[in-house]
Every structure is written in structure tokens, then in C-alpha cells.
Chains A and B, each alone.
Chain A
Amino acid sequence: MPVPQAKLDALAARIAGLDLVRGGWAGAARTEALARLGAMGLPARRDEYWRYTDPADLIAPQAPRAATFAAADEPPVFDGIDRLRIVFVDGVFDPALSDDLTLAGVEIELLSSAGQTDIHWAREVYGVLEARGQTPVQRPLAALNTAFAAQGVLIRATGRAARPVALIYLHRSETSDAILHHCIKVEAGAELTVLESGPAAARFNKVMEVDVAAGGRFHHIRAQGRDHGRRAATHLFARLGAESLLKSFTLTANGVLTRNEVVIELLGDDAVAHIAGAAVGDGAFHHDDTVFITHAGQRCESRQVFKKVLKNGAVGVFQGKILVKPGAQKTDGYQISQSLLLDGDSQFLAKPELEIYADDVKCSHGSTSGAIDEVALFYLRSRGVPEAAAKSLLVLAFLAETIAEIEDGTIAEDIRLRLHNWLERHGR
């Protein structure tokens, strides 16, 4: 089917001001991504995968303006965690704010400086997992990212990382339009935790490709920035080898528009992938989780746990799919998406999908939308807990299943505190 002219026009307008970085080991991947992109055009509201989220602001030639925001009421997230900090300001690496990039068990390089050599391990990852993730669903924003990203990190874990690597995204310019592309390789038996935090820019397009080899373990905890006007489209592409593990948790508090796509391939046998998200929105807040999990190996386990707390017209979207390929026997797939609507103005749209081509599998999915449980609220109040505190307790209880996916207790506690503070600020 030919690409509609409008999509191609949108693409031409969008990339007119962008420079393609040529040469080096990533050069071919970039030109191939540009070719992929040319064959797709940019997403439009009429596309099935953009039915619930209007991509207009994500594809516009200029990033819509977003005021910067300094949170004076709480310390930056993960501040109390011993970590290696890599700071990007409006999408550009800032060496002065970053730590020295040496860490036992891990090799860290910048895409901007490592990209010009001819040979690099990241060649097997950069654009490769993104390209695999383009079927059966097109993800043009990710291809655009691969083609034009000049900044990002390349992280290779060869052992057990001594401490988490923290990617910190600061937003300083009201018109910044950031594109970051990270490649992560967790070698056989290695273990790595990556933290991400901050709004990054007025508009943020980020791709993270994660290749986890046999027996590797990858933990990902992300807290997207509180800036009210920011917009983000992010993609996490992951490929999992035998007996490997990936756990990813995302907290989204505020932000006018967020689309988080996760594309996981469980290739090896006995691999485990848990994806969780807690989103809290008040007012102008549109949050979209779009997840695609492919079970190719046998006896793999996947969990998707997504919860959203919405008020004052906030909108939540969940599109989650589990695809079980022929031969992926003993698959254990679980998917739950729930929203807690704190008033009658908010909206939750969910599209759970299962597609199964193996006969010995266990897959379940559920989606609910509801208000605070009045009976539980009365029970708490009858024990002396004031109404506001009781509501707060119930909202945190609703979100608890997502936080339970964070293995590190200190990090989980930090996330819980953010949610608690958000509830305090937003009058529950």
C-alpha cells in the first residue's frame, strides 16, 4: 500500500532541520533507518496504533514550547542512591555534571564519540532491535530516532555492575527538542541496573535498545520528569536470551503528553520479562503505554502491570499485546491494566490483545477502571484515619503491584515517596 502523501509531507517537514550523522559503524544503520522511515512516513491519528493518542505534537517540525520546572518541594529522584551519573542537558551530554564514566563490570561510552570508529560491539544492537520491532507494527518515531540520534550512551555489562548507571535528563530550554539513543548489552551472566530520570527537553524522543544474553539480568527503573508541559515518545526494545531476566518500571507523574512503547522479544528459553508502569495525572495529562511482547522461546514468563491514577480530565491509554509464536510452549503471560479515576472527568482507554499460536500456554489479561472503594474508605476512617490520608493509602495500595516489580528496596522506597508526595500535592 502506498504511503499517504500527508505522512510523507509530515516526515519531510519534520526532518528538514535534522542532520544525518554519516560514516562510522553506525552509518549504515542510520541510512537504513532513514529508508525504513521513508517507507512508513510519520504516524497519524488515523493509524490503528495511534487511535487513542494524537501524535500531532510528537511529529510537528518544531517542539511545542514547554516551560522548565524546578521542583523545590522534594530532592531529585534517586538522589539517595549510590550511582554513576551521566547527565544530558536538553539532550546533550554534559561532562561537567557527569561522573567519570568508569565502573567495574561495565564499559560506558558516548554515542557522540564512539560513533566514528569502524568496529564496535554496538553495531549488533544499534538500530537492529528497533528494526526487528517494526513488524508487525510500524514505529516510525523509533526509526526517526535511529536515523538522526547523535547523542546517547553505549553500555556493555560484562560482569556484575558495581552500582547502577543513572541517566539524568535535565530540561533547561523551553524549546529544546531532544533525540537520544542508548544501546545496552548485558553479556552472559552479567547484571546491570539502569536508572533514568528527568524530563529531558520540551520534547523528547528516546530509544533504548537492550540486548540481554543468556543468563544476563537487566533492571530498569525510570522516573519521567515532573515538568508539566513536556512531551515524550520513548521506545524500549529488548531481546532476551535463554534464562535471562529483564525488569522495567516506569513512574510518570505529570507531563502533558507521554507515549511509552515497550517491545520485548523473549527469544531464548526460560527468559523472564516484567514490565510495570505507574502513572499519576492531574488535568492536562495524556499518558499512553503501548506494549508488545513476543514469546518465541519455551517456558518464558512475561508480566505487564500498568496502573494509572487520573483526575481532572487526565487521560490514560494502554495498548498491550502478547504474541505467542508457534513452538513457544509453556509460555506464562500475564497482563493487567487498571485505572483509578478520582473523578468523573477522567478517562482510561485500554486495548489488551492476545495472539497465540502454541497450544500449551497460560496467558491471562485483565483491565479495569474504577473509583476509590467507598467501603474500604469508610473502614479506614472508622479506625480514625482522616479522609485524605485514607484516600492516599488506598491510592498507594492500588499502585503497589507496580512498585512490587522493583527488586531494589531502596529504589522502590524512593518511588513510593514520589507517589506519596504527588498525592499530597494534588489533594489526593
Chain B
Amino acid sequence: MTAYLRLTVLTAVLLLQACATNTVSQRYPSPEVKRAPPSPSVERVPPRTAPMPSTPSTPASPSEPARVSDSPAVIALLDRAETQHQGHDVDAAAVSLERALRIEPRNPLLWQRMANLRLEQGQWDQAVQMAARSNSYAGRYSGLRARNWQIIATARRAQGDVQGAADAELKARQLE
């Protein structure tokens, strides 16, 4: 019974996916598919000579970016990197990620993905550095930063830096 149910759900999911793909191909070349260029993400910095001090009034800020990217090209490259990764071609995955980074050099998720790859390859130092680079672009995304600190902790432990790993883990916990 459960197996049957699972099968039904699976079929439904597959059908839905199929439909989704269909919709995409049917949309071309109708004009409404033209995506507006993704607006560059603007972080508000107070202008230096503004008449009044203003603090950005941010309600509870999200801990993760809403989307991986607004760029279909970046998403396509991430997908490709994922496929290459699953095919155990980590070098190729890194090349695809680097290509994505050329398009969005300030996307903290791309840097984090790169850090994960380096971690897997045992390039501990570059894993730490890429995670730090991700942090520098992560702004207020605390969940994202927590994961970077986890990467740093793992890499440091592998390097034999027990104290450094513990510090990084503490930072990760504080952000979670």
C-alpha cells in the first residue's frame, strides 16, 4: 500500500516536472518571456552628506538569500557543476563554478559551493579561503555564514588546527 502511494506521488512529481519543462519550451518566442535584466543587488549605504542620519529599517532579516541567483545562466552553470560533481569530475565542476563566478563574482552561494568543492578535494587552505570570501559577501545572511564557518571548522580540523576548528564551530553556532 505504502509502496503504491509512493509510486503515485513519484509519478505525479515526474508529470509535474514534465509539464514545467513543456511550459518553458512553449513560451518561446512569445514576447513576454523576455526577462528583465536582473537588477544589481544594492546594499544601502548611507550617503555621506545626507541631511539626516538614516538607518535602514530592516524587519527581521532573512538568514538565507531568497534565490540562488536571478541569472538563468548562473543557475544553468550551477546545475552543470552539480552534474559534473555527481559524475565525480570535481575539476570540471570547479571550472563551471568559476565560469558562474565570472558572471556573478559577488554571489556568496557560488563562493560557498567552491569552498565545498575544495573541501572535498582536500584543499583545506583554499576551502577556508573560499568560505571566508563567501562570508565577505554574505552580509546579514546568518544561515549562509554559519555554513561557511562549518566549512572552515572542518578544514581546520583536517589541518590539525583543533583550537581554530573549535573557534569556527562556536561562530557557526552563534549564527545558527
A, B assembled together = no
B→A interface (CB under 8 Å): none
